[in-house]
Structure 1
Amino acid sequence: MTATFTLLTSGYDLFDERNAGIDGREQPWHIASTVALLRDGDKIVVVDPGMVADRKLILDPLAAEGMTPEQVTDVVFSHHHPDHTLNAALFPNARAHDIWATYDNDLWTDRPADGFQISPSIRLIETPGHTAQDITTVAETDEGTVALTHVWWHPHGPAEDPTSHDPEGLRASRRKILDLSPVLIVPGHGAPFVPSENTPV
């Protein structure tokens, strides 16, 4: 059995359009997470249920797939920035996964993320670079490997992550993902893309 991938909503960021405000503070800016659905057997996994313009952008596509929020079994956070975690409470019965542990109601289970299997066809790998705590969700589908990750913000990179404190770690994580030969990469704030020789590393 293999997993299936469904895009719930494609994210965006207007990071480059921010302007310095009064007293050097930055103006408010719009950002939304790319939110995805993975299914593998009895596991229904939502990845990065973060900021969106309207929660319907997550819930309506989920309903179109015949799912209710209560049926979601697992939620994965690529990292702990609020734009990727804000709407986790939409899924009241889901276990949550991050780089450190799995959380299930009041049960905190420490475990390494690298290689952790959520299901037979869905696993986590550690991919630091955007933050030191980044993970990528890897799904084996009938079409091939799909990587859901924030080591790219969108299909064009950016070549250099403007918020990374570890550019070399980011490049190593990008190479780690590309070495999996994914047929599709789902970035943190953009549409899924097919990697090519022009994919920023």
Structure 2
Amino acid sequence: MTAWDGDKLITALVDHGINCEDINYVISTHGHSDHIGCNYLFPKATHIVGFCISQKDRYFHHDFKSGKEYRINDKITIIPTPGHTLQDVTVIINSGKGTIAITGDLFEREDDLSNCNIWKSAGSDSEELQVMNRLKILQLADYIIPGHGAMFKTDKYK
């Protein structure tokens, strides 16, 4: 969300019985302003923004560039999926309902599977990598939460 969406985000968290102090990790799939604007609301959290990991003024090295995954716990893993930007990551969640991929703008919305102009017009630092990683996520996930649309099932795209 953008820096102007803070109140909306706080309200949504409260509606679920959560406050900003409860958040341990903030994961932004990439560093564009419409995806990192409310990160300031979570000063206690570890922040993962694309390939960068930090907490307050400490930065941590992780080799996303070589394809290495970052595991938060046995259900949540961050994997590198460059394309939209060269430092994109996807959050993989293994839930009781299947594997969910939070992809950011690797997928703009479900419609971009039938119309590639949608994701291409949003910008792509590497269309070749983006196509490769989109296919990878489609095979890996049961559900995708794209950067600008509703969650969708992947079964009809496999």
Q: Which of residues 109, 122, 128 in structure 2 aligns to 1:168?
A: 128
Q: Which residue of structure 1 aligns with residue 49 of structure 2? A: 98
- Show CA shifts across 1:123-178 (max 9, x none): 11111111111110101111010000021111112514211132111110011111
The one-letter amino acid paired with 2:150 is A
Q: Which residue of structure 1 aligns with residue 40 of structure 2? A: 89
Q: Which residue of structure 2 aligns with residue 189 of structure 1? A: 148
Evaluate the alpha carbon distance shift between residue 171 and residue 90 of structure 1 in structure 2; reply closer, same or farther with a 3 A threshold.
Answer: same
- Give unpaired runs (5+ residues) of structure 1: 1-49
- Provide the aligned C-alpha RMSD in A: 1.8
C-alpha distance in 2, partners of 1:184/1:65? 22
- Give unpaired runs (5+ residues) of structure 2: none
- Show CA shifts across 1:53-79 (max 9, x none): 643331112112111101100101111
Q: Which residue of structure 1 aligns with residue 63 of structure 2? A: 112
In 1, are the aligned partners of 2:83 and 2:133 still within 8 Å (CA)? yes
Instruction: Give the count of matched residue pairs.
Output: 149
Higher relative contact order (CA 8 A, sep 6+): 1
Q: Give the TM-score of the pair, scaled to structure 1.
A: 0.69
Q: Give the TM-score of the pair, scaled to structure 2.
A: 0.86
Matched, 1:135 2:89: yes
Q: Which residue of structure 1 aligns with residue 25 of structure 2? A: 74
In 2, are the aligned partners of 1:99 and 1:112 still within 8 Å (CA)? no
C-alpha distance in 2, partners of 1:53/1:151? 24
In 1, are the aligned partners of 2:51 and 2:89 still within 8 Å (CA)? no
Q: Which of residues 111, 114, 121 in structure 2 aligns to 1:156?
A: 111
In 1, are the aligned partners of 2:50 and 2:88 still within 8 Å (CA)? yes
Following superposition of structure 1 onto structure 2, how do residues 19-38 of structure 1 map, counting pairs within 5 Å? none
The one-letter amino acid paired with 2:148 is H
C-alpha distance in 2, partners of 1:53/1:186? 22
C-alpha distance in 2, partners of 1:165/1:116? 23
Runs of 4+ aligned structure 1 residues displaced above 4 Å come to none
Percentage of matched positions with identical amino acids: 29
C-alpha distance in 2, partners of 1:65/1:109? 31
